[in-house]
Copies of this chain bind each other. A is one copy, B any other.
Amino acid sequence: MHPFDRAIALEPLGQSRFAGHTSADYQNMVGPFGGITAAVLLNAVMQHPDRLGEPTSMTVNFAGPVPDGPFEILARPVRTNRSTQHWLLEQWVQENGQPAIATTATVLTAVRRPTWSATDCPAPLLGGPGPDQAPTIITHFTPWLRQYTLVPLEGDMPSEWDGRENAESLSRFWVRKTTPRTLDFCALAAVCDIFYPRTWLRRAHQVPAGTVSMTMYFHAGAQDIAQAGDDYLLAQARGQEYRNNFSDQSGLLWRTDGLMLASTHQMLYYKQ
């Protein structure tokens, strides 16, 4: 079983409840990688017998710590229309022997039909050197980072934390799973959280920082996502505003042929 599938595995308990378990493979410095939490929550929607359509937007709020061990997800379709469905999700954990909400999420699934389509954000750098022409990096800094193989293009994590401020917060890189696995909605949700805090890049100063809320817009259907196979995705992120403990950043993910698969935004807490 692929480590990702192990990490998002759920046992249906009926009545919109699912049992899951944290995975050592996707551990971050404290608790699980936020992307894997988004993925396992989305998996509850994917497995729900009443689901209508495919994920179109999702917001995940990291409300409290997820301790190592079992957790339970409540994934309720609260409104079903003709072609759209709105979901409310809660991830419950045990904290000091008491049940507590660690994560909340909302999801929109929709039946989408072919329409006029266009992009305002064509994939940059396509036609230049591809991911196979450059050295790859597997970072062993935290367990979850080992799950991804990166080809840095620009805006890589500072090699020296010397506090010299950068004018730019733009990062671009190729990314794929280290152990090959065909892309799907859950894997795409996870990779939306691949971007490290823009404060680190701007300040060359590694203050404690973490995502508090993440939104994902899915621009492709299951077939278009599956066509990415286990190949690289082109990933780009930029910061917007850094002010009084909170900063926001936005990311884009394209297939190697330039099709945008997802756009993503997040608000992060940072100290000092």
Sample 14 A-B pairs with CB under 8 A, ordered by A number: A57-B212, A59-B213, A61-B86, A84-B212, A108-B267, A112-B245, A112-B246, A119-B241, A120-B239, A219-B241, A240-B263, A241-B260, A243-B260, A250-B265
Q: How many copies does the complex hold?
A: 2
Fill in one digit per residue for A86-127: 1 if any B CB lies within 8 Å of its CB, else 0.
101010000000001110111010101111111111000000
Neighbour of A59 across the interface among B63, B112, B115, B215, CB < 8 A: B215
Q: Which residue of B lies closest to A112 (CB)?
A: B244
Within 8 A of B (CB), among A214-269: 215, 217, 219-221, 238-246, 248, 250, 252, 260, 263, 265, 267, 269
Given A63-B81, A108-B267, 10 more pairs with CB closer than 8 A: A56-B246, A78-B104, A105-B106, A108-B213, A115-B244, A117-B242, A118-B202, A121-B240, A221-B244, A248-B263
Measured between beta carbons, the chain B residues less than 8 angstroms from A250 are 250, 265
Q: What is the CA–CA distance of A199 and B119 in the complex, to the nearest angstrom?
A: 10
Q: What is the CA–CA distance of A270 and B215 in the complex, to the nearest angstrom?
A: 20
From A88, A203, A244, A270, name the one whose CB has the most chain B CB atoms within 10 angstroms.
A244
Fill in one digit per residue for A164-176: 1 if any B CB lies within 8 Å of its CB, else 0.
0100110000000
A64 close to chain B: CB less than 8 A: yes
Question: In the complex, what's the smallest C-beta–C-beta distance from A74 to chain B, in angstroms?
Answer: 11
Cross-chain contact A57 with B213 (CB below 8 angstroms): yes
Question: In the complex, what's the smallest C-beta–C-beta distance from A262 to chain B, in angstroms?
Answer: 9
Q: What is the CA–CA distance of A202 and B250 in the complex, to the nearest angstrom?
A: 22
A271 close to chain B: CB less than 8 A: yes
Q: What is the CA–CA distance of A235 and B245 in the complex, to the nearest angstrom?
A: 24
Q: Which residue of B lies closest to A254 (CB)?
A: B241
Q: Which residue of B lies closest to A88 (CB)?
A: B104
Measured between beta carbons, the chain B residues less than 8 angstroms from A221 are 244
Fill in one digit per residue for A198-212: 1 if any B CB lies within 8 Å of its CB, else 0.
110011000000001
Cross-chain contact B121 with A241 (CB below 8 angstroms): yes
Question: In the complex, what's the smallest C-beta–C-beta distance from A91 to chain B, in angstroms?
Answer: 11
Cross-chain contact B106 with A56 (CB below 8 angstroms): no
Q: What is the CA–CA distance of A105 and B215 in the complex, to the nearest angstrom?
A: 13
Q: What is the CA–CA distance of A146 and B116 in the complex, to the nearest angstrom?
A: 31
Fill in one digit per residue for A45-64: 1 if any B CB lies within 8 Å of its CB, else 0.
00000000000110101011
List 9 A-B pairs, minimum CB-CB distance, nearest first.
Answer: A63-B79, A63-B86, A59-B59, A112-B244, A117-B243, A57-B213, A57-B267, A219-B241, A217-B248
